[in-house]
Chains A and B, each alone.
Chain A
Amino acid sequence: MTMTIHVDVVSAEAEIFSGLAEMVVIPARMGDVGIMPRHAPLLSPMKPGEVRVMKENGEEEAFYVSGGMLEVQPHTVTVLADTAIRAHDLDEAAALEAKQRAEKMLTDKQTDVDYAKAQAELAEAMAQLQALERLRKMAHH
């Protein structure tokens, strides 16, 4: 009997593949790696490329990944594929944008959280809700 290794290929938005394989070829950052059962534990980023899964029955399945992370344990391989296109510059730009959105919204912001006021407002809202609930119940009887 041939030895097999469990392979999971997932992305944040879907599960792509889960099953047994004799060998998997994965585009790791430093070059393609072929993983067979009882491989030493390995962690590596992936570059865009093809993940090829050689199954027990000799069939082969291939998936395109645009990058991500790879974990190898002696009996399992986990491929965490990215759905988003990642690059340092792109991430920086996105972070800047998120900050700017907040700044824009806060152009007329006050300082110091007024917990007492906020909680009073919340309590008032809750009381109103409860009163409505009571009224509704009374209407039923």
Chain B
Amino acid sequence: MAGAKEIRGKIASIKNTRKITKAMEMVAASKMRKAQDRMRKSRPYSEKIGNVISHLAQAHPEYQHEYMQEREVKRVGVIVVSSDKGLCGGLNTNLFKTSLNQLQEWDEKGIEVDICVIGNKASGFFKRIGGNIVAQATHLGDSPQLEDLIGLVKVMLDDYSDGKLDQIHLIYNHFVNTMTQDRRVHQLVPIKAVENDENLQQHSWDYLYEPSAEEVLDGLLMRYVESLVYQGVVENIACEQAARMVAMKSASDNAADLIDELQLVYNKARQAAITQEISEIVAGAAAV
């Protein structure tokens, strides 16, 4: 009965693996619900501030903020949002593929790139390929705080204000539903005006700014960019958990298939051993 013992051992080990993937699947499912909840909660803020920005684009301000002015692109900043942990299918790999295509496109145009990384995976990847990383934020956990991102965003915005960067982009996973995650490349700065709100007065108007247009717009646009990055991070976490849940589910299913197949092989081996034993006994008896 050669091999039967090994097969039994293999079955036991696959069963253990399945236990782990099953547990991870359930943990991811419950974390995903919380992450989706957080995503929903943070949406009103980004919607509202987006409205304000679109109003601003329709106003006729005397003062034009630098974040709203296009300039010739020589160097861009890119913020890449990834997960801290692996075992979430092709989520990060696909994101990096998108990033690389984008980076190469810029490279061909002779545009230099500064990278800001969020999450361990991006940090490891861009370090390995030798990207020019200027800031990073990792270990944000499952419930990131806006505070954790302020510094990172400020590094990019300061470089933009100093004229070192001419555009800032955000690359992240957009949560469509549990099965689908979309890679997005979003231009943060210069800010692109969004759709028109028809409720607004059509004639020429401008805001009253207190204390001054410059100070107000500085604060507002900075918060706008931060809210976009925060929204990206929160969505990415929901994507991560969804992708992990799906990956772990398919791993558990695969384990079940493997166990079935191995069980069959084991049964056959056992049956063959028994048949052989019987024929040996019969042959022995006949010889006597």
The residue among A75, A93, A115, A126 with the most chain B CB atoms within 10 A of its own CB is A115
Nearest residue (CB) in B for A100 is: B135
Say whether A59 faces chain B, with CB atoms less than 8 Å apart.
no
Q: With both chains docked as a complex, state the minimum distance between the C-beta of B237 and any C-beta of chain A, in angstroms.
A: 13
Q: With both chains docked as a complex, state the minimum distance between the C-beta of A80 and any C-beta of chain B, in angstroms.
A: 6
The reply to whether A78 and B208 form a contact with Cβ atoms under 8 Å apart is: no
Interface stretch, picked from B22-30, B97-105, B174-182, B279-287, is B97-105
Q: With both chains docked as a complex, state the minimum distance between the C-beta of A33 and any C-beta of chain B, in angstroms.
A: 8
Residues of chain A from 12 to 70 with CB closer than 8 A to chain B in the complex: 12-15, 18, 28-30, 40-45, 68-69
The reply to whether B146 and A13 form a contact with Cβ atoms under 8 Å apart is: yes
A3: which B residues are within 8 A, CB to CB? none
The reply to whether B211 and A80 form a contact with Cβ atoms under 8 Å apart is: no
The reply to whether B210 and A15 form a contact with Cβ atoms under 8 Å apart is: no
Say whether A117 faces chain B, with CB atoms less than 8 Å apart.
yes
Say whether B131 faces chain A, with CB atoms less than 8 Å apart.
yes
Q: With both chains docked as a complex, state the minimum distance between the C-beta of A91 and any C-beta of chain B, in angstroms.
A: 5
B216: which A residues are within 8 A, CB to CB? 43-45, 69
Which of B130, B199, B254, B257 has a CB less than 8 Å from the CB of A75?
A: B199
Interface stretch, picked from B6-14, B45-53, B263-271, is B45-53
The reply to whether B133 and A105 form a contact with Cβ atoms under 8 Å apart is: yes
The reply to whether A102 and B207 form a contact with Cβ atoms under 8 Å apart is: no
**Given A69-B223, A101-B137, A113-B107, A40–B146 Cβ distance below 8 Å?**
no
Total count of chain B residues near the partner, CB < 8 A = 68
The reply to whether B254 and A136 form a contact with Cβ atoms under 8 Å apart is: yes
The reply to whether B211 and A29 form a contact with Cβ atoms under 8 Å apart is: yes
Which of B93, B132, B219 has a CB less than 8 Å from the CB of A69?
A: B219
- In angstroms, Cα B38 to Cα A14, docked, is 8
The reply to whether A43 and B207 form a contact with Cβ atoms under 8 Å apart is: yes
Which of B48, B113, B207 has a CB less than 8 Å from the CB of A78?
A: B48
**Given A10-B45, A111-B130, A96–B151 Cβ distance below 8 Å?**
yes
A interface, over-half SS: mixed
**Given A73-B200, A129-B90, A102–B42 Cβ distance below 8 Å?**
no
Q: With both chains docked as a complex, state the minimum distance between the C-beta of B108 and any C-beta of chain A, in angstroms.
A: 10
The reply to whether B127 and A109 form a contact with Cβ atoms under 8 Å apart is: yes
A82: which B residues are within 8 A, CB to CB? 223
- In angstroms, Cα B100 to Cα A122, docked, is 10
**Given A44-B209, A105-B123, A13–B41 Cβ distance below 8 Å?**
yes
Nearest residue (CB) in B for A94 is: B151
- In angstroms, Cα B227 to Cα A68, docked, is 12
A41: which B residues are within 8 A, CB to CB? 55, 59, 205-208
Which of B44, B107, B158, B205 has a CB less than 8 Å from the CB of A10?
A: B44
Which of A30, A40, A78, A111 has a CB less than 8 Å from the CB of B52?
A: A78
**Given A84-B145, A96-B151, A136-B254, A117–B93 Cβ distance below 8 Å?**
no
Q: Which residues of B contact A (CB under 8 A)?
A: 38, 41-42, 44-46, 48-49, 51-52, 55-56, 59, 90, 93, 96-97, 100, 103-104, 107, 113, 116-117, 123, 127-138, 145-147, 150-152, 154-155, 158, 199-201, 205-211, 215-217, 219-220, 223, 226-227, 230, 254, 257, 261
Q: Which residues of A contact B (CB under 8 A)?
A: 8, 10-15, 18, 28-30, 40-45, 68-69, 71, 73-75, 78, 80, 82-86, 91-99, 101-102, 105-106, 109-115, 117-119, 122, 125-126, 129, 136, 139-140
